[in-house]
């Protein structure tokens, strides 16, 4: 009987190469080939956010470009800015510093038009660097300020001291308006909506997760308390409930809630192969992942065959059952064993949907479904 599983070195290399390639990309079986549909279901939406513009130009004394008043006003904004960054859901925000200068004669040292406005803008930039070094270092806060005098705004109101313009109240008001330093903080953030668990339903038809998102096909934040009901069909999927930090509160493990068509097998070989290839990754890890340990290939086959099957099928019989999900699946399992794998991932089989409790008061936050095997389809409902 052992000779049934002898394969040539060329065939072994072919299968091992197939396995190594499959672990690096999303795998679709021949029966499942074609354009994917379904995918990650999420309630996250993008919302533009903007911090109110702050004008600090009038807080510089005439002819000066340093101001403790301005620095203190920025420091006083830190709690508000941190809350703004936190509540917006964004990871990067931009401080835009603008500066303007009137035609009033600048003091000595700032004869070049725009140089005083530029110095004040640089002071504001320096204050941000001193007050927010952590946010700037990690890239959360980016500062954009005028690079030279060509980037500041020069006033258009004429100035002639000999005509008494410096004592004209109307002109002084215009000069003050043109002499400014402003900054605003802008950024795009993502606001995650919360869905009520009551009478909620998620349905995936022919959906496959991708490696980029750890094979997640549903990721939804729920509100309330109730029962989640999960029906997967014959292809195994996994539902978990997590808290705000991602800790697992409930875990169905991989479960198939409908019998498959291969009556000689308890577990579909291809499904076992795919789950085993992902063993100990994010999607296939945790206390509720079902595993079997095998001593040899005969032992592996006996553990995945149906309980009433005493004779291990030959290659022709396996092909007749199903070229891809059975025969190719068995070949992949052989290759894994010959590569040294002794721990294989299987799944729970039930005749009906499985349930899990959900309650925000106990720390439950999200429901996540992993679907790494083929074009699966499932229904997931919530009820209060």
Q: Are the C-beta atoms of 238 and 283 separated by less than 8 Å?
A: yes
Spatial separation of the C-alpha atoms in residues 206 and 293, rounded to whole Å: 31
Q: What is the secondary structure of 65-94 as a DSSP string?
A: ---HHHHHHHHHHHHHHHHHHHHH--S-EE
CA atoms of 28 and 18, how far apart (whole Å)? 12
pLDDT tens across 166-179, in order?
A: 889 999 889 888 88
**CA distances for 92 relative to 89, 136, 137, 192, angstroms:** 9, 10, 11, 17
**How much is the pLDDT for 47?**
55
Q: What pLDDT, in 10s, does the model give residues 224-259?
A: 999 999 999 999 999 999 998 899 999 999 999 999
Measured CA to CA, the distance from residue 260 to residue 245 in angstroms comes to: 36
In the Cβ-directed half-sphere of 168, how many Cα atoms lie within 13 Å? Answer: 14
Per-residue pLDDT of 45-86, as tens digits, reads 445 666 666 666 666 777 788 888 889 988 988 888 777 777
Whether the Cβ atoms of residue 124 and residue 70 lie closer than 8 Å to each other: yes
CA geometry: angle at 232 spanning 305 and 199, to 5°?
160
Query: For residue 48, which of 183, 220, 191 has the smallest C-alpha distance?
Result: 191
C-alpha–C-alpha distance, residues 216 and 170, integer Å:
65
What mean pLDDT is predicted for residues 339-346? 97
Residues in CB range of 8: below 8 A, 6 or more apart: none
Tell me how crowded residue 256 is: count the other CB atoms within 10 A of its CB.
22
**What is the length of the chain?**
384
**What is the tens place of the pLDDT at every residue in 360-370?**
999 999 999 99
The pLDDT of residue 138 is 87
Q: What is the pLDDT of residue 50?
A: 66
d(CA 247, CA 224): 18
The residue ranking higher by pLDDT, 190 or 135, is: 135
What's the pTM?
0.59
Domains of the chain, earliest start first: 2-43+193-383 (no CATH), 46-189 (3.30.1330.60)
Among 32-41, 211-220, 349-358, where is mean pLDDT lowest?
Answer: 32-41
Average pLDDT score over residue span 106-123: 91
**Contact between residue 294 and residue 344 where contact means Cβ atoms under 8 Å apart:** yes
DSSP string, 236-273: -EEEEEE-TT--EEEEEEEEE-S--S-TTBSS-HHHHH
Q: Assess contact for 254 and 229: CB atoms under 8 A.
A: no
């Amino acid at each position: 009987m052992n000779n049934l599983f002898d394969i040539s070195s060329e065939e072994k290399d072919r299968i091992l190469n197939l396995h190594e390639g499959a672990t690096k990309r999303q795998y679709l079986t021949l029966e499942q080939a074609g354009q994917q549909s379904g995918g990650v279901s999420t309630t996250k939406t993008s919302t533009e956010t903007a911090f109110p513009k702050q004008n600090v130009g009038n807080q510089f004394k005439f002819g000066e470009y340093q101001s403790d008043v301005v620095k203190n006003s920025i420091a006083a904004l830190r709690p508000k800015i941190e809350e703004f960054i936190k509540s917006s859901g964004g990871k990067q925000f931009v401080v835009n510093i603008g500066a303007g200068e009137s035609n009033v004669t600048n003091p000595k040292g700032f004869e070049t038009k725009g140089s005083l406005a530029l110095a004040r803008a640089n002071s504001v930039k320096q204050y941000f660097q001193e007050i927010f070094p952590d946010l700037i270092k990690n890239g959360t806060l980016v500062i954009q300020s005028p690079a030279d005098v060509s980037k500041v705004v020069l006033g258009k109101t004429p100035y002639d001291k000999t005509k008494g313009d410096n004592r004209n109240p109307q002109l002084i008001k215009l000069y003050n308006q043109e002499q400014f330093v402003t900054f605003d903080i802008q950024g795009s953030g993502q606001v995650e909506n919360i869905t009520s668990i009551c009478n909620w339903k998620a349905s995936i038809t022919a959906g496959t997760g991708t490696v980029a998102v750890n094979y997640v096909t549903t990721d939804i934040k729920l509100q309330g308390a109730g029962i989640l009901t999960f029906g997967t069909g014959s292809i195994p999927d996994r539902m978990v409930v997590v808290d705000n930090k991602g800790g697992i509160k409930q875990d169905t493990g991989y479960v198939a809630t409908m019998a498959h068509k291969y009556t000689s097998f308890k577990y579909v070989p291809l499904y076992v192969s795919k789950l085993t290839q992902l063993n100990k990754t994010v999607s296939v890890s945790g206390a509720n992942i079902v595993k079997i340990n095998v001593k040899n290939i005969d032992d592996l086959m006996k553990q995945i065959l149906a309980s009433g099957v005493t004779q291990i099928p030959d290659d022709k019989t396996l092909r007749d059952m199903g070229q891809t999900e059975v025969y190719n699946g068995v070949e992949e399992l052989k290759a894994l064993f010959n590569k040294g794998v002794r721990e294989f991932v299987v799944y729970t089989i039930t005749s009906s949907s499985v349930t899990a409790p959900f309650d925000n008061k106990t720390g439950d936050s999200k429901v996540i479904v992993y679907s790494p095997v083929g074009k699966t389809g499932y229904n997931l409902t919530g009820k209060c």
